[in-house]
């Protein structure tokens, strides 16, 4: 890893150079307080550099909301249908928590049955991260996802008139070497401004979650009636899972053509809060109660995934808090399970 300094006036040239490596996607403003990923149109002013969270996270580039897995034919077998998996893409504007979320998905899709759709895209997507300042819904610091030292090709930290450029991969090094005239060495002033930025950012977190001993506490609180109270409020709409950067469940279905000999296999995002998510053959539902389904989601994020991979499956981005139409606050619920006074 190496660090450089780039004056902000060079951002257009930097983005232009990124276009040589693939199709560039950036966050743009959508409505009053929402942001989404769009292909870069060449206008730097259209990029929402202050965007904290896009409505749908970057996972949609690696793992499509709905996609054809393969086409099948009774005579010729099946043909993989993921042509766009080979497309070169540059994601500009992912924050530290988003980069951590990709590491979470990597662990899942590299399991016993490796997901080649995901990893083919992963290989062809360049990660250009950017710094951010937290709002009242961010708790990534509590989840250890507020900083990142790996998992990106380039990372830009906003230092006022300059960007601190972190180069995190050989591809990032190639991108930098393509335009050496727009970068300068890091000097004492750069270091001072970076430390000031770090301290200011650390002090800006309003939302804090104590995660110490949380898996054990959740074990003790397995039968807490609060789960059913929250289940009564939950609309089972699935918004929290759709916007979550680390939720990965999907459903698979086959579409058979009218000739009864050809068709397609699809997969689409699913959610453990949907009633039929745990429904099995014979009509038995392992999580019939809505409170049980909500509890399952929380325990998986903070307990089960931790047991498998040594870290939680929550990066503290705050999307689920913002998106929930029933105003169920993820952090407040966990605080309540810890016995803290809360209005969860």
288 and 244 share one domain: yes
68 and 190 share one domain: yes
To the nearest whole percent, how much of the chain has pLDDT over 90? 86
The chain-wide mean pLDDT, for the chain, equals 94
Please write the tens of the pLDDT for every residue from 55-111.
999 999 999 999 998 998 888 888 887 777 889 999 999 999 999 999 999 999 998
Q: What integer pLDDT is reported at residue 76 of this predicted model?
A: 85
Residue 37's Cα: distance from chain center in Å? Answer: 13
Is pLDDT above 70 for 160?
yes
327 and 250 share one domain: yes
- The answer to the question of residue 208 being in a domain is no
What integer is the mean pLDDT of 191-198? 97
Is pLDDT above 90 for 279?
no
* Range from 10-24, 135-149, 227-241, 281-295 carrying the lowest mean pLDDT: 281-295
> What confidence category does residue 44 fall into, taking pLDDT thresholds of 50, 70 and 90?
very high
> What confidence category does residue 33 fall into, taking pLDDT thresholds of 50, 70 and 90?
confident
49 and 140 share one domain: yes
165 and 29 share one domain: yes
Q: Domain count for the chain, please give it.
A: 2
> What confidence category does residue 344 fall into, taking pLDDT thresholds of 50, 70 and 90?
low
State which of 179, 203, 227 marks the end of a domain: 203
* CB distance 153 to 130 below 8 Å: no
* CB distance 34 to 49 below 8 Å: no
For residue 209, with 0-12 CB atoms within 10 Å meaning exposed, 13-18 middle and 19 or more buried, which class applies?
buried
Q: What integer pLDDT is reported at residue 85 of this predicted model?
A: 81
- Give the CA-trace dihedral at 113, 114, 115, 121, to 10 degrees: 180
DSSP three-state, residue 254: strand
Is pLDDT above 80 for 235?
yes
Q: Which two three-digit tokens encode residue 173?
A: 């090094």
Q: What integer pLDDT is reported at residue 190 of this predicted model?
A: 95
What integer is the mean pLDDT of 116-130? 95
* CB distance 313 to 104 below 8 Å: yes
What integer is the mean pLDDT of 291-311? 94
- The answer to the question of residue 264 being in a domain is yes
Please write the tens of the pLDDT for every residue from 304-333.
999 999 999 999 999 999 999 999 999 999
What integer is the mean pLDDT of 193-220? 96
Q: What integer pLDDT is reported at residue 343 of this predicted model?
A: 60
159 and 250 share one domain: no
Is pLDDT above 70 for 15?
yes
Q: Which of 213, 127, 201 is nearest to 159 (CA)?
A: 201
Q: What integer pLDDT is reported at residue 341 of this predicted model?
A: 65
Which long-range contacts does 29-37 make (Cβ < 8 Å, 24+ apart)?
30/55, 37/61, 37/91
Look up the domain containing 289 and give its range: 214-337
- The answer to the question of residue 17 being in a domain is yes
Q: What integer pLDDT is reported at residue 75 of this predicted model?
A: 85
Q: What integer pLDDT is reported at residue 342 of this predicted model?
A: 64
243 and 123 share one domain: no
179 and 242 share one domain: no
What integer is the mean pLDDT of 265-278? 92
268 and 175 share one domain: no
Q: Which residues of 115-144 are buried (b: 16+ CB within 10 A; e: fewer)?
A: bebbebbbebbbbbbbbbebeebbbbbbbe
34 and 178 share one domain: yes
Q: What gap in Å lies between CA 101 and CA 320, rounded to an integer?
A: 14
């Amino acid at each position: 890893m190496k660090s450089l300094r780039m004056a902000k006036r060079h951002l257009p040239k930097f983005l232009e150079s990124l276009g040589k490596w693939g199709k560039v996607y950036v966050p743009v403003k959508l409505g009053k307080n929402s942001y989404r990923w769009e292909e870069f149109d060449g206008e730097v002013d259209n990029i929402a550099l202050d965007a904290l969270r896009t409505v749908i996270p970057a996972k949609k580039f690696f793992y499509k909301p709905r996609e054809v897995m393969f086409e099948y034919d009774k005579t010729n077998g099946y043909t993989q249908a993921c042509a766009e998996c080979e497309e070169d893409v540059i994601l500009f504007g992912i924050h530290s928590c988003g980069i951590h979320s990709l590491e979470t998905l990597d662990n899942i899709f590299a399991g016993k049955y490796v997901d080649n759709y995901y990893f083919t895209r992963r290989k062809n997507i360049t990660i250009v991260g950017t710094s951010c300042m937290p709002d009242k819904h961010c708790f990534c610091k509590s989840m250890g996802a507020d900083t990142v030292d790996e998992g990106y090709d380039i990372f830009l930290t906003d230092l006022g008139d300059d960007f601190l450029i972190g180069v995190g991969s050989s591809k990032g090094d190639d991108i930098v070497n393509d335009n050496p005239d727009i970068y300068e060495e890091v000097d004492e002033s750069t270091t001072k401004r970076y430390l000031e930025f770090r301290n200011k950012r650390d002090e800006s977190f309003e939302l804090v979650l104590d995660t110490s001993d949380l898996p054990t506490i959740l074990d003790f609180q397995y039968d807490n009636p609060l789960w059913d109270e929250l289940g009564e409020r939950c609309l089972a709409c699935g918004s929290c899972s759709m916007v979550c950067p680390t939720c990965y469940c999907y459903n698979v279905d086959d579409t058979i053509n009218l000739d009864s000999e050809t068709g397609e296999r699809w997969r689409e995002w699913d959610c453990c809060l949907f009633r039929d998510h745990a429904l099995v053959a014979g009509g038995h539902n392992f999580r019939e109660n809505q409170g049980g389904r909500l509890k399952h989601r929380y325990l998986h994020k903070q307990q089960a995934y931790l047991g498998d991979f040594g870290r939680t499956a929550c990066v503290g981005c705050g999307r689920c808090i913002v998106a929930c139409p029933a105003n169920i606050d993820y952090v407040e619920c966990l605080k309540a399970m810890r016995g803290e006074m809360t209005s969860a």
